[in-house]
Chains A and B, each alone.
Chain A
Amino acid sequence: MTLSWKTGGLALGLVFFLAVLLVKPIGVSTQFVILDGILWDGLNPEVVTQTDDGYTSTNAYLAKSGGKYAKSVANPMNYSFIFVLAMMLGAGVSSYLRKGVSAEERTMPNLWRANFGDGVTKRYLVAFLGGFIVLYGARLAGGCTSGHMMSGMMQTALSGYIFAAGAFAAAIPTALILFKSEG
């Protein structure tokens, strides 16, 4: 069951407002870097190291801005990382309570099936490659749909508008080309 756009949009707006009222604006894509850092540091403990006044890393990206990402890698129990884990909990419970996603939808959306058939390998490959460029692009941009588009435009940030212009300028033509059948 999907909420109406009015109820759903209002609820979503309230969550973004509560976040900035109580803590800070919502953002997600940085946590992909933090999880990468945690896994990498687990394999090679020399990647993130403690210094006199904080943390640093052999990786220039983790070490940037005074090692703030390195610090989060060293301390996974921080606000932003727990936030994303809690998001999964919230979405999982919500999905369970609405009787979840149908068996057919679990592997691919109907819109995909209507346009490209029901080959699972093809869908998984595109989802994987999609994830790759989404996160590469989000890290290049310094944020994603949550941090730049929603939180950014809500704060009248110029960067949010630039990001949204780029994202929709690419996403709409891509979807028009890929999804000609409505399913």
Chain B
Amino acid sequence: METLSFLLDGFMVALTPMNLVWVTIGGFLGTIIGMLPGLGPATGVAVLLPLTFSMGPTAALITMGGVYYGAMYGGSRASILINTPGDGAAVAATFDGYPMTLKGRAESALAVSAIASFIGGVFATICMVAIAIPVARFALKFGPAEYFMLFLFALSATASMTEGNRLRGFIATILGLMIATVGIDGQSGVSRFTMGILELQSGIDFLIVIIAVYALGEVFKSFKNIDTGNVNVQKKFGKIWLSKEEWKRSVWPILRSAPLGFFVGALPGAGGTMASLMSYNNEKQLSKHPEEFGEGAIEGLAAPESANNAASVGAMIPMLTLGIPGSGTTAVMMGALLLLGLQPGPMLFQQQPLIVWGLIASMFVGNIILAVMNIPLAGLLVRVLSVPPKILYPIVLGLAFVGAYAISYSVMDFYLLVLFGLLGYFMSKTKFPATPMILAVIVGNNMEQSFRRAYKISDGDIGIFFGSPICLILFSLTVVSIVYPLAKGLLKKKASAVA
């Protein structure tokens, strides 16, 4: 009951006209920033940081919150329309979102993305009100060994999902992990595989690899169609909405993915990318027609969109309850709290209840405003598809390069961009799946470091990886994720042999 009265106070704060204006502005700017490649929520919040100085702490936090989920809404727009994800969390939206666009169903894709984001965000905010503290305490149980097993599970599930050829999926995973080993090793200070290049010492930024493989890879592939004159431009646009059938197929995936995303988001260091990919894998396992995944299955877009917005809410939990940033974006927001003279941590709820509950209430308000704003905005954006590809693709290239520059301010990354663009192109030519590689690049460093931390803590005893119930559960899931598709394949073979 006490919580509810706090929440009510929070709504009083969030619904003041000025704060409503701020969350709308923040959400709008966030959506725009999220659409630009290379600029994700973290950059968005950092860029707007100086503007928030002149506001009070509550208004500042609410504005930054708006930017954060605005960027999550916006991030998937470019994934769906031009196959160019703006950040890691938007990668999963390319899997089925872009095929939907190619099939002329961009309107449904944009609609389901906004609706799923909305439901995911609101659901996670309700969870946050109800169980923030226990979730934060539970997340502390994740030590290095647990993280390693979590990453292992996510990788094996993604790799063994690869249609047709699991072996290629695992090879792609290994390649991604290798890319992630470049740079200074945090546990020993030894610099590895950098070939003496200073810029490589801090590793290869996974965003560069994502932009290269998806955007440049797509441009490279398009030359073939341009040369053969085999291109089509969408001229007619429908309403941004879902048919009954589409809604029926999406609703359960959305509802299932929200709690998953919320929890994974609350783990410091796991984040939206892991959440959206895990929910994608999950839905593909559960689906009655997994063969449609990757070809424009609407569930395959609805699930990760719901999960990544839920994760962005979940990521606020460690920041607000413990003063531990759970993601790049919350790290920036925490910096902002300090600049505003607030001390994030367990005392924040007690010392500044109005600020915290105002922020939580604004998450409800912000998600509603964003959903309402995004439907007409999508109606405008979808017109991008009426630009002829011969003009659109050079622009995608231009965006890819400026995005890469915005990540590190270094032209060194341009060479990496071209290299990985070519790699992406050849991989798709030779039927190697890109997704397992991308996920491996994203989690690779964390995964190895978790392994090494656990190894040091246990003095080299491998038993630590099976030492807790969480580890054992994750390990069983890993085994199932590898064995289940194999067994299913064998059964099918048997069945067809009998018949």
Q: Decide whether A and B assemble into one complex.
A: no
